[in-house]
Amino acid sequence: MSIETPLPILKPADFASDQDVRWCPGCGDYSILAQMKKMLPTLGMPRENIVFISGIGCSSRFPYYMNTYGMHSIHGRAPAVASGLKTSRPDLQVWVITGDGDGLSIGGNHLMHTIRRNMDLNIVLFNNRIYGLTKGQYSPTSPLGKKTKSSPMGSIDNPLHPLSLALGCEASFVARSIDTNIKHLGATLKRAADHRGTSFVEVYQNCNVFNDGAWNYAKDRETKADTTLELEHGKPLIFGKDRNKGIRLNGLDPEVVDLGSGIAEDDLLFHDERCPEPSLAYLLSRMRYEDGFPEPIGVFRSVDVPRYDEMVNEQIETATKEKGRGDLEALFNSGETWKVT
């Protein structure tokens, strides 16, 4: 059959596989799956050129539900599997689906190195602050004091903050969204897909069975305007139900200020997602609800830096240009040889 026909217009349903989705009813993963299926057709990319790679955990079942190429690999290793795939086939769009346990605990090493190489992958980390598939142990993002099956007296593990980690690795694209904020989530996934280089997206995702309500403060209709802050490039950091609060820099520290009363918008911190230095984005990633800050959502950082998968293939082109296409016979006969007659 010819594949040179114009690209078919795909619908969300075209991305649904024939498998029954087996997450618990009410799980935040459903929403992420729905937004992904809704967003992908907007990319105009043929389905067969998209690959989803995951590790182990509830989130990692994701590839089974997508009618694309996919691999449900082993615990923590999805970024490495995806790196081998993308390096070999830069023409493919590769997504990594991971969770807080899979990506930050057992797979922390791969995540760090994939990000620093700026491999052109889209990594979506479903953060529910608990181990769900193994039925409720504390995870690397569980808060201190969290009582779980494996921490009956409260967790004493200082939690990791995924975006701080990604920015520490100088990720070229870092964003955060929330499972229930579907419009924002869809737009964030689209931004991640469009970015060239590693896109790292943290999604606040609710595990309604083992850690229900972990993100309520950021989702609750009543409180979310005060507890989250939607980042917009070039705009001042303003939040609050009445849009009357902002973030100002006091030396190197952010502080919450009330607008009016002598403080104007121009006094606030302006968001610059394209700043080459990741420091400001890092500072935003450190803003925590428990410390009295709104937690930023949206794109923290989006910069254009060289990508491993491109450079590794460029080296092959350069070597081929310089030395010609590899010639086995010439190689075998290189150096000292002798003839026996």
Partner 1 sequence: MATSTPSKAVANLEEATVRFCGDSGDGMQLAGTQFTNTSALLGNDVATFPDFPAEIRAPRGTKAGVSGFQIHFSSNEIFTPGDTVDSLVAMNPAALVTNLADLREGGVLLVNQDAFEKKGLAQAGYETDPTEDGSLHQYKLHSVPMTKLTRLAVEGLGLSLKEADRCRNFFAMGLVFWLYDRPLDPTLRFIDAKFGKRPEVAQANTAALKAGYHYGETVEAIGTQYHVPAAKLEAGTYRNIIGNTAFAWGLLAAAQSSKKRLFLGAYPITPASDILHELAKHKHFNVLTYQAEDEIAAMTATIGAAFAGVMAVTASSGPGIALKGEALGLAVITELPMICVNVQRGGPSTGLPTKTEQSDLYQVMYGRNGECPMPVIAASSPGDCFDVAIEAWRLAVRYMTPVMVLSDGYIANGSEPWKVPSLADIPKIPVEHPGPLSNGEEFMPFERDERLSRPWAIPGTPGLEHRLGGLEKQDISGTVCYDPNNHDHMCRLRAEKVAGIVNDIPEQTLDGPDTGDLLVLSWGGTYGACATAVHRALAEGKKVSHCHLRYLNPFPKNLGDIFNRFDKVLVPELNLGQLSMMVRAQYLLDTIGLNKMQGKPFSVGEISEKIDQLLQGTQS
Between 261 and 337, name the residue whose CB sits nearer to partner 1: 337
Amino acid at 195: H
Compute φ and ψ for 273, nearest 5 degrees.
-70, -15
Size of the site for partner 1 (CB under 8 A): 63
81 binds partner 1 (CB under 8 A): yes
* Residue closer to partner 1 (CB basis): 15 or 204: 15
**DSSP category for residue 302:** E
48 in contact with partner 1 (CB under 8 A): yes
Element (H, E) at 175: strand 173-178
Residues 272-331 that bind partner 1 (CB under 8 A): 312-313, 315-316, 319-320, 322-326, 328-329, 331
Q: Is 89 near partner 1 (CB under 8 A)?
A: yes
Q: Judged by CB under 8 A, does residue 11 bind partner 1?
A: no
Among the listed residues 36, 58, 85, 229, the single contact to partner 1 using CB under 8 A: 85
3-state secondary structure 192-259: HHHCCCCEEEEEECCCCCCCCCCCHHHHCCCCHHHHEEECCCCCECEECCCCCEEEEEECCEEEEEEC
Q: Binder to partner 1 among 53, 165, 167, 193 (CB under 8 A)?
A: 53
Identify which of 291, 204, 218, 221 has the alpha carbon closest to the alpha carbon of residue 256: 291
Distance between CA 182 and CA 300 in Å, rounded?
18
Taking CB under 8 A as the criterion, which residues in 12-31 touch partner 1? 17-19
Of 38, 72, 196, 286, which lies in the binding site for partner 1, with binding defined by CB under 8 A? 72
Q: Taking the CA of residue 309 as centre, how many other CA atoms within 13 Å lie in the half-sphere pointing to its CB?
A: 23
Does 190 engage in binding with partner 1 (CB under 8 A)?
A: no
Classify the phi-psi angles of 339: left when phi > 0, otherwise alpha if psi is within -120 to 50, otherwise beta: beta
Q: Which residues bind partner 1 (CB under 8 A)?
A: 1, 3, 17-19, 46-49, 51, 53, 56, 63-64, 66-74, 77, 80-89, 91-92, 109-110, 112-113, 312-313, 315-316, 319-320, 322-326, 328-329, 331-333, 335-341
